[in-house]
Amino acid sequence: MNVMVIGSGGREHALAWKLSQSPRADRVFVAPGNVGTFYDAENVPIDPMNFADVIRFAKENNVGLVAVGPETPLCGGLVDALSAEGIRAFGPSRAAARLEGSKIFCKNALKLGCIPTAEFATFDNAQNALNYLREREDKPIVVKADGLAAGKGVCVCDNREQAIQAVQEMAMDKKFGSAGEKLVIEERLDGEEASVLAITDGKTILTLPPCQDHKAAYDGDKGPNTGGMGAYCPAPVVSEEMLHWVEENILVRTVHVMNRLESPFSGVLYAGLMIGRQGPKVLEFNTRFGDPECQPLLMRLKTDLLTIMEATVDRQLDKIGPLEWDPRPVVGVVMASEGYPGKSAYGRPIRGLEDVAGMSDVKVFHSGTRVNDKGEIVNAGGRVLTVTAFGESIALAKKNAYEAVRKIRWEGAWCRHDISDKAAQG
């Protein structure tokens, strides 16, 4: 069967790499892909938001399954558009992707399902939000833009003054465009964050081993929020017992609520959790694999991903046995461009990739890379590579990942140095 992956990040490189290993996959196309997917699969120059082109290509090339990586085409309805043409597509419908695309929808669904989450209020204009903040006690609070804002539409505030400023920026100055026209204001939760992802067809849930992302730019969780500077799997902060609890009290209830809301969920349900003294609470849902969580997860997955994805689309996940995992932990370190997450400098030749290619138990997933007119691989985005490695323990996986990182260089390249350290502290 021919398969098509939609997207161009590290997550999509991991998806294409894994799908290419399937004995049932013939050609694996990636639209539009990056340098990594050029080597591990076949790139096609199609914009994921150009649904007509995606559909035309899938039909002309006999694509039996399309796996949609990023949230923007999911929230825009790419899966619906493909399904309407009889093309099987892995990922939630537009209605189900609202769990990620609208924080107000998400919070209301959580409430309806009695699913643990921060106390919240929703607003459809700035004035009401400001009145609310002025009337209540001055304490730490979180302001969130309702719509998609590339992971940046959340302001974790220490006090009322900061929250007022966040409301002004989001809803009045339109910092995130229309995404900030409506707002969620919620209680600030304390604890440690973890990501629990599951694959579901709306009936059966396959919970994946827990991961931990590192969203802050710099060591010690300092600096601005990013798309994620590294991830590891499994994350010991989520014990086996807690994972069962999350499955029962968060994942099952969410899938059920989505059925009740006539928006059955199919695809990857990603619960971003805060684990505090009262147990895990949902910070957010994503409706896709996380980037970079996908890279360590798929390194460890031994079951055929194409079979899992097809079974999901066909609502046959109950026929798949327990997923098989490599017992060894994996640590993935993101190497970023100078200036990221602000304005970054691009076009700089990347050296050392060939030295890492020979390392066993290490895989470098590409994100923002391209080939320049001299034929050199150069950086072309904020997050450039996820250097991902196995180890017999998390500490050894970390050591292997950073050993590979040290072999790769370009002008201005940088990374966090403490990916997975929280596992050791726990």
**Candidate segments 121-129, 149-157, 202-210, 252-260, binder of ligand AMP by CB under 6 A:** 149-157
Structure tokens given for 63:
């694509």
Give the residue carrying structure tokens 């600030």.
188
283 is a site residue for ligand AMP (CB under 6 A): yes
First to last CA, the chain: 44
Within 224-253, the residues that bind ligand GLY by CB under 6 A are 228
Distance of closest approach, residue 186 Cβ to ligand AMP, in angstroms: 5
186 interacts with, out of ligand GLY, ligand AMP, none, CB within 5 to 8 A per kind: ligand AMP
The answer to whether 272 contacts ligand AMP (rule: CB under 6 A) is: yes
In contact, 390 and 360? CB cutoff 8 Å = no
Instruction: Return the range that interacts with ligand GLY (CB under 6 A); candidates 175-183, 232-240, 286-294, 337-345.
Output: 286-294
Q: Can you tell me which residue has the tokens 């590339």?
A: 150
Minimum CB–partner distance for residue 232 and ligand AMP (Å):
16
Handedness of CA 10, 298, 389, 247 (dihedral sign): positive
290 binds, among ligand AMP, ligand GLY, none (CB under 5 to 8 A by kind): ligand GLY
Closer residue to ligand AMP, CB minimum distance, 64 or 151:
151
Peptide bond into 296 cis (omega under 30): no
Number of residues binding to ligand AMP, judged by CB under 6 A: 14
Q: How many degrees, rounded to 5, is the angle at CA 161 between CA 157 and CA 164? A: 85
Q: Which two tokens stand for residue 112?
A: 């309806």
* CB closer to ligand GLY, 12 vs 213: 213
Residue 185 as a binder of ligand AMP (CB under 6 A): the answer is no
Contact of residue 296 among ligand AMP, ligand GLY, none (CB under 5-8 Å per partner type): none
> 75 with 148: CB under 8 angstroms?
yes
Among 12, 100, 146, 186, binds ligand AMP (CB under 6 A): 186
Task: Quote the least distance from Cβ 150 to ligand GLY, whole Å.
Answer: 9
CA distance 372 to 360: 28
Listed residue (236, 248, 247) closest to 210, CA to CA: 236
Q: Shortest approach of ligand AMP to residue 37 CB, angstroms?
A: 26
The verdict on 291 binding ligand GLY (CB under 6 A) reads yes
Cis previous bond, 32, omega within 30: yes
Closest CA to 317 of 207, 204, 198, 209: 204
Please give the Cα distance from 326 to 313 (Å, whole number): 25
- 188 touching ligand AMP, by CB under 6 A: yes
Helices 126-135 & 160-167 angle (0-180, nearest 10) = 180
Using CB under 6 A as the criterion, what x/- string covers residues 179-198 for binding ligand GLY?
Answer: --------------------
Q: Is 118 in the site for ligand AMP (CB under 6 A)?
A: yes
Kindly tell me the sign of the dihedral angle through the C-alpha atoms of 166, 158, 129, 150: positive
CB of 373 to ligand AMP, least distance (A): 38
Q: Which residue has 């939609």 as its token pair?
A: 6
Q: How far apart are CA 286 and CA 101, in angstroms?
A: 8
Q: Find the shortest distance in angstroms from Cβ 214 to ligand AMP.
A: 10
Least spacing, CB of residue 12 vs ligand GLY, in Å = 12
Q: Are 345 and 338 in contact (CB under 8 A)?
A: yes
Name residue, tokens 């100055």: 173
Please select the residue that binds ligand GLY; options are 12, 146, 201, 213, rule is CB under 6 A.
213
Residue type, 65: L
**Residues 126 to 155: which contact ligand GLY by CB under 6 A?**
151
Interacting residues toward ligand AMP by CB under 6 A: 118, 142, 144, 151, 154, 156, 186, 188-189, 193, 215, 272, 283-284
Interacting residues toward ligand GLY by CB under 6 A: 151, 213, 228, 286, 290-291, 293
